A = this chain, B = another copy of it.
C-alpha cells in the first residue's frame, strides 16, 4: 500500500510481521478519543494548578477561586472541563459544592504535582 520507503525501515517492518500487524495494533477510535479528552483537559496550566490543589485537599469553589485567582464563571468553565474528563467530581454540601479529585485525577496528580 505505501509508495516507497527506506529499505532499512522496510526491513524492520518485515521483522515485526508486516505493516498490517503494526496498523492493527493502533487503538480504536473510542480509546483514542477518550485519552485525547483526558489529555486535553490536562493541557492547561490553570487546570493543572487546580488539580494539584484538589489532590491535596478537596474544596469548595469559593476557596479554589481564591487560590487560583479567577472569576467564578471562568473557574466554573475550567471545573466543567475537568469534570467532563473525569478528573474531578463535585458534590453538594449545603450551599457549597465540594470538588475533589477522582482516582483518575489522583493518578495524574501524583505524576505532575510532585511532593507528597
Contact = CB atoms under 8 A, between A and B. Distances in A.
A81 to B, nearest CB: 11
Interface in A15-35: 16, 22-23, 25-27, 29, 31-33, 35
B96 A6 contact: yes
Interface string A53-85: 100111110110011000000000000000000
Given A49-B26, A62-B3, A93 B8 contact: yes
- Indicate the member of A35, A113, A115, A116 with the most B CB atoms within 10 Å: A35
Nearest to A107: B111
- Going nearest first, the 6 A-B pairs with the smallest beta carbon separation are A40-B43, A39-B42, A39-B43, A2-B66, A43-B43, A36-B45
